[in-house]
Amino acid sequence: MEQHPPHPAVAPAPVTTGDTQAPFLELLARGASADAYEQPALVARAEGATPARIAALEDAKRLALGVREEMEGRRRREAELSALFETAHDLAGLRDLDAVLQAIVQRARSLLGTDVAYLTLNDPPRGDTYMRVTEGSVAARFQQLRLGMGEGLGGLVAQTARPYVTANYGQDVRFQHTRTIDAGVQDEGLVAILGVPLMLGPHVIGVLFAADRRARVFEREQIALLGSFAALAAAAIDTANLLTETREALGELERANEIIRDRSGVIERASDVHDRLAELVLRGGGVHDVAAAVSQVLDGTVEFTDADAALSEAVEVSRTEGHAVRRGPDWVAAVAAGGELLGALVLRGQPDLDPVDQRTLERAAMVTSLLLLARRSASEAEQRVRGELLDDLLDARDRDPRLLRERAVRLQADLGATHVVLAARLETAGADAEQEAAARRRLWSAASHLAATRHGLAAARDGGTVLLLPLRSGGTASDVAAHVAKRLSAAIHETVTVGASAPVTELVTRPDTAAVGYAEARRCLDALRLLGRAGEGAAAEDFGFLGLLLADSRDISGFVARTIGEVVAYDERRGTDLVRTLDAYFASGMSPARTKDALHVHVNTVAQRLERIGRLLGPDWQEPARSLEIQLALRLHRLAGPDRH
């Protein structure tokens, strides 16, 4: 038998560096998590790769993880340096020591990722240290703590000028525990604490802390970072002291020299307006608050105004030159940002303005522009987000309920509550398309503001506006519609008509709930306009039997209850025949004489029953429109069950 030589074995493909490193480079490029770096080797093993290739992948993985760790470290150091730079910048423009110290504590807490950060200052006359600034604290007793020198971790740092750290303060015997300190720490729930001294030269003036409500080991780099913030805090305090001493020196020079006193007065006014403007910005003040603050400082009257025709030339000059300009006895400073003219500040009653005061007016104009832009940006952003969420509720069929709930929570809206869908439309047509579009924007803006205050949603839709508002306990859709129509009409000084749906639930779990409610609200809106009731707000329940046609669900029992429910309930309580009498009365052409024959009772009995019915249904029950609804309700009542009479 002929023998054939065996086929030579196929040599495995050589393992190249590029083949093994490529997947890890891709993971590095897209910033994948550390767990993702295990995947290439796992896939290779599943595919039966050679041991050499798997070993090469493991080597490449270790190298890539090392690079990733280095990159993470660099990013972390960049964030730390950025925070330190921002804090140093705040320190350079120091006006409010508390604000700077608060910023230091906030940034320290953020960068170290702790639950709480706080700062204490030494009180030499009392020989202890007291809490000055806290961030993340919730316990009142902790926020008012005073630590004796050497007591607790903080007292030991203040006494020794050395940083101390503990992974579990309650179980750490290195520190002198006291009942007051331990009670405050327990109230706050703190476990791991890091404290570093605030040094001015060789002297300790306080302690900066970072703490967690769980056991934790602080790394050396974190201790060094907190120390850097402590150095900035000490510098801030020192700068504040120097500023105080400088102000005192200026006061002494002011009393010694008239010229210096005048110039110092100007500087003080500038500092005052700077402080006031900064305070206004921090507490969210408005444009008119800025004008009022500058009026007090400059001893004149400052007004914010649009760039009308009378001031247009002066405003344009101020905008071009970037300075306040004089116009007759007044001074005008343009309020502009990014090439957009937003208005102007006009100072009246101060024709001879000092250069420093002129600069103060210009600074106020700049702050005004920032406030206007910030308000506009924040308002527009929130309105867009609310509108987008409502659009998704109305249109999206494949949405993720969990994501919808999360988006709603961020907007302080509870989609699990009962809501009313409302359709609002302007009734006053603009002189031209541009004016009509502007009126619609005002309607959307007013509706968005109303929705935000009521924890609801609003969006522009179909030439009008749709709102989704929560239904308060005891309220009705009719009440909500009437209230919204009144509020929107007053807000934009135009006639606004509003139709409302019946109360809706399951907005997230049922994809068509909002869309069905909106369709019902639009039908009610159209009915109001056809009935000549523009400017009103109503729901299906306000249209009587027409409401059965307008509503998405035929609430027959509700219609019967609203129309003749009092009479039915009276019969059930007293065992009377008012419903049967009412039915016979209408069947007899509303004739008491024929009614008594149909019922086989005396005519006086019929009269007494009709009088009782009138008291239950109201004096207008025999009016044509009302009697039509009552007769329809009687028929529906008969159809709802067997004849009991």
* pLDDT < 70 regions, the chain: 1-19, 68-95, 256-286, 306-311, 337-340, 372-387, 396-398, 429-432, 530-531, 543-559, 625, 636, 639-645
* pLDDT the model gives residue 181: 92
CA distance 563 to 630: 6
- With the C-alpha atoms ordered 135, 137, 142, 147, is the resulting torsion angle positive or negative? negative
Q: 307 by DSSP, 3-state: which?
A: coil
How would DSSP label each residue in 73-87?
HHHHHHHHHHHHHHH
CA atoms of 165 and 616, how far apart (whole Å): 79
d(CA 105, CA 99) in angstroms, rounded, equals 10
CA separation for the pair 316, 312 (Å, rounded)? 6
Q: Which residues pair with 116 in a beta bridge?
A: 211
What pLDDT was estimated at residue 264?
Answer: 60
Rounded distance, CA 612 to CA 332, Å? 75
Token duo for residue 143: 């926020």
pLDDT in tens, 412-460: 888 888 999 999 988 876 556 777 788 888 888 888 888 888 888 888 8
- As a whole number of angstroms, the longest Cα–Cα distance in the chain is 131
Any residues with CB less than 8 A from the CB of 401 and at least 6 apart, and which?
508, 509
Pairing verdict, β 537-539 and 496-500: parallel
Q: Which residues pair with 294 in a beta bridge?
A: none
Contact assessment for residue 15 and residue 50, using Cβ atoms and an 8 Å cutoff: yes
CA–CA separation, 233 vs 31, rounded Å?
35
pLDDT reported for residue 545: 52
- Please give the pLDDT value at position 385: 62
- pLDDT computed for residue 386 by the predictor: 67
d(CA 487, CA 469): 14
Nearest to 617 by CA among 605, 637, 631: 631
Buried b (16+ CB within 10 A) or exposed e, 197-206: bbeeeeebbb
Cβ neighbours of 176 (radius 10 Å): 15
Tell me the per-residue pLDDT of 553-594, one tens digit each, with 9 for 90 and over. Answer: 555 566 677 777 788 888 888 888 888 888 888 888 888 888
